[in-house]
């Protein structure tokens, strides 16, 4: 039996990864287009992995684009022989699957604001309560690296040799968390009304410079943030407008958006992306690793 779900890639937040898994294999995708197929092998003591798939170790077996899945199923012969049945089973499932899959990581580990111990920035998330103990007691929040998500800088910033916005915001979060930072696990359901930052880091900064750094970071990350589940329509609309500056990223991640607040805005962004791609332009991340590996 194949089970499907999605969960956030943390940390840093990079995407809402889609996962379809059988007892001894799984397929993962960061954008709904390219799927990485992985097999699970027995642990060091031998024996086949059971339904608790953590007994073995996943090893990458193949990358297949969604548009090629039907061809693989119809003609399961590769250059090195017959395509593994585990790949075919997952491929058949994915052909008819509706994306995005339901989000499942409702256990969340948040860095806390020392003033009132409220959530400041999300560090980890997981699906099962039993997994929480396996995470390190980390109290450092990380931004998506500038090498993965470059953010433009002003002439003044370049003249003063300021570092990337990504890392400057990291320092802001660390300073706000104080020299004795605390973090805590919370249990959430995505459609509840909770006092949690909708885009995984607080935006209510007292310092105007810090507030502007956060705004610029989230605006650049908007095409990825729109993959999040449980975001209210007003907040989603705000990120849809912010994503206009990165139309090619929107085109890449659009299949995994669980909801659209303003179809007119998104249609215009996608039309712009198609025109730019027709002219030979590609998104910065295309052809690169996303910088974060799902474990």
User: What's the pLDDT tens digit per position in 190-232?
Assistant: 556 568 999 999 999 999 999 999 999 999 999 999 999 999 9
If pLDDT is split at 50, 70 and 90, which confidence band does 153 have?
confident
Q: Give the separation between CA 38 and CA 56, rounded to whole angstroms.
A: 12
| Residue 122, beta-bridge partner list | 110
With 90 as the cut, is the pLDDT of residue 250 above it? Answer: yes
**Non-local CB neighbours of 103 within 8 Å, separated by 6+ positions:** 5, 6, 7, 8, 16, 190, 229, 230, 258
If pLDDT is split at 50, 70 and 90, which confidence band does 52 have?
very low
Please, what is the Cα angle at 292 between 210 and 14, to 5 degrees? 50
pLDDT at residue 11 in the model: 87
With 90 as the cut, is the pLDDT of residue 99 above it? Answer: yes
With 90 as the cut, is the pLDDT of residue 91 above it? Answer: yes
To the nearest 10 degrees (0 to 180), the angle between helices 233-242 and 263-278 is 30
If pLDDT is split at 50, 70 and 90, which confidence band does 76 have?
confident
Provide the percentage of residues in the chain whose pLDDT is more than 90: 72
Element (H, E) at 8: strand 3-8
Buried b / exposed e over 140-149, threshold 16 CB at 10 Å, is ebbbbbeebb
pLDDT at residue 8 in the model: 96
pLDDT at residue 46 in the model: 43
With 50 as the cut, is the pLDDT of residue 294 above it? Answer: no
Reduced to 3 states (helix: H, G, I; strand: E, B; else coil), residue 236 is helix
pLDDT at residue 156 in the model: 85
Q: Give the separation between CA 119 and CA 202, rounded to whole angstroms.
A: 8
If pLDDT is split at 50, 70 and 90, which confidence band does 167 have?
very high
Q: Kindly tell me the burial class for residue 199, based on how many C-beta atoms sit within 10 Å of its own C-beta (0-12, 13-18, 19 or more).
A: buried
Q: How far is CA 206 from CA 110, 117, 220, in A?
A: 20, 17, 21
Q: Give the separation between CA 59 and CA 198, rounded to whole angstroms.
A: 34
With 50 as the cut, is the pLDDT of residue 45 above it? Answer: no
How do the domains of the chain map onto residue ranges?
A: 3-96
**What six digits make up the tokens of 273?**
């992306």
pLDDT at residue 155 in the model: 85
H helix intervals, 47-124: 69-74, 85-96
| 120-145 mean pLDDT | 94
Provide the percentage of residues in the chain whose pLDDT is more than 70: 88
């Amino acid at each position: 039996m194949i089970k499907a779900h999605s969960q956030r890639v943390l940390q840093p937040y990079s995407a809402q990864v889609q996962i379809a898994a059988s007892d001894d294999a799984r397929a993962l995708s960061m954008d709904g287009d390219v799927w990485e197929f992985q097999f699970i092998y027995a642990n060091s003591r031998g024996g086949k992995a059971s339904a608790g798939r953590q007994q073995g170790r996943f090893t990458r077996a193949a990358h297949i684009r969604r548009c090629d899945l039907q061809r693989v199923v119809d003609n399961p012969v590769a250059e090195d022989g017959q395509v593994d049945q585990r790949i075919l089973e997952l491929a058949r499932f994915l052909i008819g699957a509706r994306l995005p899959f339901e989000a499942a990581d409702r256990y969340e580990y948040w860095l806390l604001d020392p003033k009132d111990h409220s959530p400041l920035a999300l560090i980890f998330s997981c699906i099962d309560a039993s997994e929480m103990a396996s995470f390190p007691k980390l109290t450092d929040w990380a931004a998506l690296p500038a090498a993965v998500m470059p953010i433009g800088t002003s002439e003044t910033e370049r003249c003063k040799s300021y570092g990337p916005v990504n890392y400057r915001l990291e320092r802001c979060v660390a300073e706000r968390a104080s020299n004795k930072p605390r973090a805590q696990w919370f249990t959430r359901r995505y459609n509840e009304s909770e006092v949690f930052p909708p885009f995984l880091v607080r935006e209510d900064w007292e310092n105007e410079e810090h507030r502007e750094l956060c705004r610029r970071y989230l605006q650049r990350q908007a095409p990825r943030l729109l993959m999040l589940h449980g975001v209210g329509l007003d907040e989603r609309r705000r990120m849809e407008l912010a994503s206009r500056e990165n139309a090619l990223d929107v085109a890449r991640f659009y299949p995994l958006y669980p909801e659209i607040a303003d179809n007119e805005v998104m249609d215009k962004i996608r039309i712009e992306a198609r025109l730019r791609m027709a002219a030979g332009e590609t998104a910065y991340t295309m052809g690169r690793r996303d910088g974060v590996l799902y474990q």
